[in-house]
Structure 1
Amino acid sequence: MSLVSHEVAINDAIARARLLSPFLSLILDREPVLAKSLATGRLDLSWSSVEPGMPVAKRLRIERRAMALNVAIGDLAGILDLTAVTGALTDFADYALDTAIRTAIEERTPGAEPIGFTAIALGKQGSGELNYSSDIDPILLFDPETLPRRPREEPEQAAVRIGKRVVELLQARDGDGYVLRVDLRLRPSPEITPIALPVDAAIGYYEAQALPWERAAFIRARAAAGDIALGQRFLEAIRPFVWRRALDFGAIGEIRGISARIRDHHSQGQAFGPGYDLKRGRGGIREAEFFAQIHQLIHGGRDRSVRVPATRDALARLAEAGWIRSDESQALIAGYTLLRTIEHRVQMIDDRQTHALPTGDALDRVAKLHGLDDAGALLALLEPRVTATGRIYDALDDTVRPAFSRDVVTLEADLVEAGFDDPESARRRIEAWRGGAYPALRSPAAREALEAVLPTLVPAFAAAPVPQAALLRLDALLERLPSAINIFRLLEARPGLATLLAAILSHAPTLADDLGRRPDLLDGLIDATAFEPVGDVAALEVIMRAGETGGDYQSRLDHVRRVVGELRFALGAQIVAGASDPLDVAAGYARVAEAAIGVLASATIEEFAKVHGRVPDSELVVLALGRMGGAMLTHASDLDLIYLFTGDFAAESDGPKPLGATLYYNRLAQRLTGALSVATAAGPLYQIDTRLRPSGGQGPLVVTFDSFARYQREDAWTWEHMALTRARPVFGSVAARDAVALIVRDVLEGDRPARDVIADARTMRSDMAAHKPPKGALDAKLLPGGLVDLEFATHVVQLVNRTGFDPNLGGAIDALIREGLVPPTLRPAHDVLTRLLVTLRLVAPDAAPPGHATEDLIARAIGVTDWAAVVATLESTRQEVRQFWAKVTGEQDG
Structure 2
Amino acid sequence: MSRPATLAEFLLASPIEPPNKTAAREALQALREAGRECERLKVLAASEGALHDFTVAVLSLSPYLAEIARIAPPLLDVALFGDIAVEIQAEIRAARDCWSAAEEGGTSAETALMNRLRLAKRKVSFLLAFADLARYFEAPETTRWLSRLADACLSSAVDFLLLSLDEQGKLKLAHPENPSQGSGLIVLGMGKLGASELNYSSDIDVVVFFEPDRGIVTDPDEASEAFARLCRRLVRIMQERTAYGYVFRIDLRLRPDPGSTPLAIPVEAALIYYEGRGQNWERAAFIKARPVAGDVPAGEGFLKELIPFIFRKYLDYAAIADIHSIKRQIHLHKGFDEIAVKGHNVKLGRGGIREIEFFAQTQQLIAGGRMPELRSRRTDDALAGLARANWIGVETAETLTSAYWFLRDVEHRIQMVHDEQTHILPDKEAELKRIALMMGFRDVKSFSTRLVSVLRTVEDRYAKLFEQAAELSGSSGNLVFTGTKDDPDTLKTLEGLGFQRPADISRVIRTWHSGRYRATHSVEARERLTEMMPKLLAAFGASSRADDALMHFDRFMAGLPAGIQLFSLLGNNPPLLDLLVMIMAAAPRLAGIIAARPHVFDGMLDPTLLTRVPERAYLAERLGQALATARNFEDVLDGLRIFAAEQRFLIGIRLLTGAITGPRAAAAFSDLAELTLERALVAVETEIAASHGRFPGGRTAIIGMGKLGSRELTAGSDVDLILLYDYDGEAAESDGPKPLDANRYFGRLTQRLIAALSAPTAEGVLYEVDMRLRPSGNKGPVATRINAFARYQREEAWTWEHMALTRARPIAGDESLMQEAQAIIGEIVAMKRDRAKIAKDVAEMRALIDQEKPPSGAFDFKLIPGGLIDMEFIAQFLTMMAEGGIEAGTPTGEVLQRLGPQALSQDDMETVATTFALLSNLSQVIRLCIDGGFEPKDAPGGLVDLVCRVANAPDIKFLEADMKARTRAVRKAFQMLMKASS
Q: State the partner residue of 1:890.
A: 979
Gaps of 5+ in 2: 1-313, 319-468
Equivalent residue in structure 1 for 2:919, among 833, 836, 859: 833
Which sits farther off after the overlay, 883-892 or 588-597? 883-892
How far did residue 693 of structure 1 move?
A: 0.4
Report whether the alignment pairs 1:732 with 2:804. no
Residues 412 and 543 (structure 1), Cα distance of their counterparts in 2 relative to 1, 3 Å cut? same
Letter in 2 for 1:887: M
How far did residue 630 of structure 1 move?
A: 0.6
CA distance in 2, matches of 1:512, 1:891: 48
How far did residue 722 of structure 1 move?
A: 0.8
Letter in 2 for 1:888: L
Q: State the partner residue of 1:769.
A: 850
SS at match of 1:530: coil
Residues 432 and 548 (structure 1), Cα distance of their counterparts in 2 relative to 1, 3 Å cut? closer
CA-atom RMSD in angstroms: 3.3
Q: State the partner residue of 1:842.
A: 928
Letter in 2 for 1:824: M
Report whether the alignment pairs 1:878 with 2:967. yes
Gaps of 5+ in 1: 1-256, 262-397
* Partners of 1:622 and 1:730 within 8 A in 2: yes
Letter in 1 for 2:967: R
Report whether the alignment pairs 1:690 with 2:781. no
Q: State the partner residue of 2:633.
A: 553
Over residues 70-121 of structure 1, what are the superposed CA-to-partner deviations in whole Å (9 max), with x where a residue is unaligned?
xxxxxxxxxxxxxxxxxxxxxxxxxxxxxxxxxxxxxxxxxxxxxxxxxxxx
Report whether the alignment pairs 1:498 with 2:544. no
Over residues 388-435 of structure 1, what are the superposed CA-to-partner deviations in whole Å (9 max), with x where a residue is unaligned?
xxxxxxxxxx99965954462554465466554654443233223334
Q: State the partner residue of 1:816.
A: 899
Report whether the alignment pairs 1:664 with 2:745. yes
* Partners of 1:649 and 1:661 within 8 A in 2: no
> What pairs with 1:8-23 in structure 2 (closer than 5 Å)?
none
How far did residue 494 of structure 1 move?
A: 3.7
Which sits farther off after the overlay, 702-711 or 604-613? 604-613
* Partners of 2:805 and 2:888 within 8 A in 1: no
Q: State the partner residue of 2:106.
A: none
> What pairs with 1:630-649 in structure 2 (closer than 5 Å)?
630-648=710-728
Residues 657 and 876 (structure 1), Cα distance of their counterparts in 2 relative to 1, 3 Å cut? same
How far did residue 490 of structure 1 move?
A: 4.6
* Partners of 1:641 and 1:688 within 8 A in 2: yes
How far did residue 709 of structure 1 move?
A: 0.3
CA distance in 1, matches of 2:502, 2:756: 48
The number of residues matched between the two structures is 499
> What pairs with 1:457-536 in structure 2 (closer than 5 Å)?
457-479=536-558, 487-492=566-571, 494-532=573-611, 534-536=613-615
Report whether the alignment pairs 1:627 with 2:716. no
Residues 694 and 753 (structure 1), Cα distance of their counterparts in 2 relative to 1, 3 Å cut? farther
SS at match of 1:614: coil
Letter in 2 for 1:594: E
Report whether the alignment pairs 1:426 with 2:505. yes
* Partners of 2:627 and 2:640 within 8 A in 1: no
CA distance in 1, matches of 2:638, 2:567: 25
* Partners of 1:544 and 1:599 within 8 A in 2: no
SS at match of 2:713: coil
Residues 536 and 604 (structure 1), Cα distance of their counterparts in 2 relative to 1, 3 Å cut? farther
CA distance in 1, matches of 2:495, 2:470: 26
CA distance in 2, matches of 1:778, 1:884: 20
Over residues 729-772 of structure 1, what are the superposed CA-to-partner deviations in whole Å (9 max), with x where a residue is unaligned?
10124332221111011111117899932333233223323332
Residues 610 and 754 (structure 1), Cα distance of their counterparts in 2 relative to 1, 3 Å cut? farther
Report whether the alignment pairs 1:859 with 2:936. no
How far did residue 554 of structure 1 move?
A: 1.0
Q: State the partner residue of 2:676.
A: 596
Residues 533 and 858 (structure 1), Cα distance of their counterparts in 2 relative to 1, 3 Å cut? farther
* Partners of 2:481 and 2:513 within 8 A in 1: no
Report whether the alignment pairs 1:798 with 2:841. no
CA distance in 1, matches of 2:563, 2:948: 34
How far did residue 868 of structure 1 move?
A: 4.5
CA distance in 1, matches of 2:632, 2:759: 17
* Partners of 2:491 and 2:502 within 8 A in 1: yes
* Partners of 2:809 and 2:888 within 8 A in 1: no
CA distance in 2, matches of 1:537, 1:634: 16
> What pairs with 1:92-107 in structure 2 (closer than 5 Å)?
none
* Partners of 1:625 and 1:641 within 8 A in 2: yes
How far did residue 444 of structure 1 move?
A: 5.3
Residues 852 and 556 (structure 1), Cα distance of their counterparts in 2 relative to 1, 3 Å cut? closer
How far did residue 514 of structure 1 move?
A: 1.1
CA distance in 2, matches of 1:820, 1:734: 36
How far did residue 659 of structure 1 move?
A: 2.4
CA distance in 1, matches of 2:877, 2:764: 39
Residues 859 and 416 (structure 1), Cα distance of their counterparts in 2 relative to 1, 3 Å cut? closer
Letter in 1 for 2:777: G
Equivalent residue in structure 1 for 2:837, among 745, 749, 756: 756
CA distance in 1, matches of 2:507, 2:900: 60
* Partners of 1:494 and 1:526 within 8 A in 2: no
* Partners of 1:829 and 1:880 within 8 A in 2: no
Over residues 180-236 of structure 1, what are the superposed CA-to-partner deviations in whole Å (9 max), with x where a residue is unaligned?
xxxxxxxxxxxxxxxxxxxxxxxxxxxxxxxxxxxxxxxxxxxxxxxxxxxxxxxxx
Equivalent residue in structure 2 for 1:566, among 627, 630, 646: 646
Equivalent residue in structure 2 for 1:708, among 772, 780, 789: 789
Over residues 239-259 of structure 1, what are the superposed CA-to-partner deviations in whole Å (9 max), with x where a residue is unaligned?
xxxxxxxxxxxxxxxxxx9x9
CA distance in 1, matches of 2:752, 2:716: 22
How far did residue 817 of structure 1 move?
A: 2.5
* Partners of 1:509 and 1:842 within 8 A in 2: no
Report whether the alignment pairs 1:616 with 2:699. no
> What pairs with 1:272-287 in structure 2 (closer than 5 Å)?
none
CA distance in 1, matches of 2:636, 2:959: 43
Over residues 318-368 of structure 1, what are the superposed CA-to-partner deviations in whole Å (9 max), with x where a residue is unaligned?
xxxxxxxxxxxxxxxxxxxxxxxxxxxxxxxxxxxxxxxxxxxxxxxxxxx
Residues 840 and 594 (structure 1), Cα distance of their counterparts in 2 relative to 1, 3 Å cut? same
Over residues 368-397 of structure 1, what are the superposed CA-to-partner deviations in whole Å (9 max), with x where a residue is unaligned?
xxxxxxxxxxxxxxxxxxxxxxxxxxxxxx
Over residues 26-45 of structure 1, what are the superposed CA-to-partner deviations in whole Å (9 max), with x where a residue is unaligned?
xxxxxxxxxxxxxxxxxxxx
Report percent identity of matched pairs: 34
How far did residue 608 of structure 1 move?
A: 2.2
Letter in 1 for 2:934: A
CA distance in 2, matches of 1:414, 1:599: 53
How far did residue 809 of structure 1 move?
A: 0.9
Q: State the partner residue of 2:58.
A: none
SS at match of 2:807: coil
* Partners of 1:491 and 1:498 within 8 A in 2: yes
CA distance in 1, matches of 2:555, 2:823: 52
* Partners of 1:806 and 1:812 within 8 A in 2: no
CA distance in 2, matches of 1:751, 1:644: 25
How far did residue 597 of structure 1 move?
A: 0.8
> What pairs with 1:260-271 in structure 2 (closer than 5 Å)?
none
* Partners of 2:498 and 2:542 within 8 A in 1: yes
How far did residue 789 of structure 1 move?
A: 1.4
* Partners of 2:582 and 2:942 within 8 A in 1: no
Letter in 2 for 1:496: P
Equivalent residue in structure 1 for 2:863, among 769, 782, 801: 782
Report whether the alignment pairs 1:542 with 2:621. yes
